[in-house]
Amino acid sequence: MEKDLILVIDLDGTLISSKIVEKVYNEAYSIALERLMKNGLKIPLCLQKPSFRNYCEMVNRYNDFKEAYRHVYLSVLKKYIDDLKKEEKKVKRFYTFLVNTYNPKDVIILTANPEGRFIVREFL
């Protein structure tokens, strides 16, 4: 049975877990803030809790934050690389299942998970 296309949309973290990504973001945010505060930067308590809104506010308020976060993010990402590789294996198994079962001309996997997009892009 040949299909033209199989489209998989992962919005809820079923295919690629958002737990690992959340760990990476939270840890990187906290470490980046800690480093900036050690350098004498005063950061309001309301911005010290990791969240996307706080990240955006920090980037807008403090010029050094984005670069500090990026540097820390890469080091934290390396810490969790084994967990991310497990996620990649899950995607590979799912992809292989779809290809072997349905014999499509193409498989597209979309995910709302930012790190998941990286995993899918690396694999496919």
pLDDT band, very low/low/confident/very high, at 21 (cuts 50, 70, 90): confident
Q: Is the pLDDT of residue 26 over 90?
A: yes
- Only one residue has tokens 């299909």, namely 3
Q: What is the amino acid identity at position 26?
A: N
Q: Global pTM?
A: 0.67
Structural tokens at position 42: 């005063």
Q: Is the pLDDT of residue 114 over 70?
A: no
Angle between helix 65-79 and helix 81-102 axes, rounded to 10 deg: 70
Q: Is the pLDDT of residue 118 over 70?
A: no
- Only one residue has tokens 């840890």, namely 27
- Where do the domains of the chain lie? 6-123
